[in-house]
Amino acid sequence: MLLAIVATAFGTCVAPANADDLSADFTICGEGRRVNCVVDGDTFWFKRQKIRIADVDAPELSPPRCESERRSGMAAKQMLFALLNAGPFTLAPADRDADRYGRKLRIVLRNGQSIGGMLIAAKLARPWTGARRGWCG
């Protein structure tokens, strides 16, 4: 099997090339059951499991600390929603299985490219460095 190597903030992630076989019709999370929905720019539910995109940090929405963080956070959330609905993807393991909140840590790939990297390229997220930093001024 041909392997694609994807560089991440955590080093190198190896994922099968053209193995994008996961997909769903994502909604924006609201009240009620969370099956396949987007919480914010770096967190979503997939098949009733909460996933934290491991290679990025997006602006906070719950709660945002300032108006610019809220606007940026909403834009990141909308882009992640569009990207997840754009076609099949792969969930690759990160440096550890879950974070302290129980969210599964995964790198989301499409055609071997990090969806987190796409958010970074759009300036709607930044690489995850292991510590939260503010998004206000």
Q: CATH number for the domain including 102?
A: 2.40.50
pLDDT, tens only, 25-73: 999 999 888 999 999 999 999 999 999 999 999 999 989 999 999 999 9
What is the pLDDT at residue 18? 59
In a domain, 123, yes or no: yes
For residue 6, the cross-strand partners are 13
Percent of the chain residues past pLDDT 70, beyond the cut:
87
What is the pLDDT at residue 134? 86
Mean pLDDT of 113-129: 96
For the cut 90, the answer to whether the pLDDT of residue 14 exceeds it is no
pLDDT, tens only, 41-52: 999 999 999 999
pTM: 0.85
In a domain, 73, yes or no: yes
In a domain, 132, yes or no: no
What is the pLDDT at residue 6? 39
Number of folded domains that form the chain: 1
Rounded CA separation 54/96 (Å): 9
In a domain, 108, yes or no: yes
Comparing C-alpha atoms, which of 122, 136, 131, 137 is closest to residue 57?
A: 131
CB neighbour list of residue 81: distance below 8 Å, 6 or more residues apart: 26, 28, 38
Mean pLDDT across the chain:
88
For 32, counting Cβ atoms within 10 Å of its Cβ (0-12 exposed, 13-18 middle, 19+ buried), the class is exposed
Q: For residue 59, what are the domain limits?
A: 3-127
What is the signed CA dihedral for 84, 50, 7, 109, rounded to 10 degrees? -30
In a domain, 136, yes or no: no
In a domain, 30, yes or no: yes
What is the pLDDT at residue 7? 42
In a domain, 113, yes or no: yes
In a domain, 135, yes or no: no
CB neighbour list of residue 20: distance below 8 Å, 6 or more residues apart: 87, 88, 89, 90, 109, 110, 111
Of 99 and 137, more confident = 99
CB neighbour list of residue 34: distance below 8 Å, 6 or more residues apart: 45, 48, 50
From residue 113, alpha-carbon distances to 5, 10, 55, 90, 137 in Å are 9, 15, 12, 10, 30
